[in-house]
Amino acid sequence: MDAFEAARYLHWPGDAVTEDVLRQLEDMGRELSSTAPPRLVWRVLPRTPEGCEGLCLPGGDIRALLEDAQQVIVAACTLGEAASRAARRAFLMDMARGVMTDACLSALIEEEMDRFEKEQTRKYRARGLYLTDRFSPGYGDLPLSVQKDLCDILDTRRTLGLTVNESMLLIPEKSVTAVIGICPAAQKHRAAKEKSGCVKCAAFENCVFRQQGRTCHG
């Protein structure tokens, strides 16, 4: 696990993320990687006017994203109940440790989704095809209610032990679902990504992220 990615989830100013904090995050990441390894399932479905086969994807943002897509990858990933137990134990021990554990878990599942996306990108580029950005229920105007049908299509209750509660949130908590379009040409639409400037930040001079050629905001 990349400790810098975990540190971003802490939302601490750059000068608060010391080398000691990074070492602690690295140690936690190694331990959590073995106790709560990510598991992922996915399918490729034909694109339809409503979204993809068997799944309605309402909203202008997802329509723009998939405008040129011929097929759609739907995926779900979870760290399982072991991640929830690890987070609860950490918070009971110490609040700061709990927050850091939660950040590590978020980084772990994001890394797994990034790994999957890069793997699929390589595979489809070899076929002369392109992937869109990864998009999840709750992004933009794509409602969280899509979670349920997406999980049903992937049979996540059986394959991952992953369910959706009445609030349309994923259980276990450290889980994500996503949609990626497969297109014949590079996508036109890109997800908007705001980046605040570093120069105005109070932590600019001592920021450990900046010293490593990174930022705390993506």
Tell me the DSSP string of the chain: --HHHHHHHHT--GGGS-HHHHHHHHHHHHHHHHHS--EEEEEEEEEETTEETTEE--SHHHHHHTTT-SEEEEEEEE-HHHHHHHHHHHHHH-HHHHHHHHHHHHHHHHHHHHHHHHHHHHHHHTTT-EE---B-TTSTT--TTHHHHHHHHHTHHHHT--EE-TTS-EESSSEEEEEEEEESS--S---------STT-TTTTT-HHHHTT--TT-
What is the signed CA dihedral for 147, 150, 154, 155, rounded to 10 degrees? 60
Rounded to two decimals, the pTM is 0.80
3-187 has which CATH code?
Answer: 3.40.109.40
- Residue 76's contacts (CB-CB under 8 Å, 6 or more residues apart) are 40, 41, 42, 150, 151, 154, 156, 160, 162, 175, 176, 177, 178
Alpha-carbon span 155 to 195, nearest angstrom: 37
Q: What is the mean pLDDT of the chain?
A: 85
pLDDT in tens, 16-72: 778 888 888 898 888 898 889 999 999 999 999 999 999 999 999 999 999 999 999
pLDDT in tens, 2-32: 888 888 888 766 667 788 888 888 988 888 9
Alpha-carbon span 82 to 102, nearest angstrom: 12
pLDDT beyond 50 at 200: no
Q: What is the pLDDT of residue 196?
A: 42
Closest CA to 175 of 118, 119, 136: 136
Closest CA to 74 of 209, 201, 179: 179
Domain definitions of the chain by residue range: 3-187
What number is the average pLDDT over the span 191-217?
Answer: 47
Alpha-carbon span 50 to 68, nearest angstrom: 13
Alpha-carbon span 98 to 42, nearest angstrom: 31
pLDDT in tens, 111-132: 999 999 999 999 999 999 999 9
Structure tokens belonging to residue 68: 């040129």
What number is the average pLDDT over the span 90-115?
Answer: 92
CA 118 distance to own-chain centroid: 13
Q: What is the pLDDT of residue 214?
A: 52
Rg of the chain (C-alpha set): 19
Are residues 215 and 158 in contact, defined by beta-carbon separation less than 8 angstroms?
Answer: no
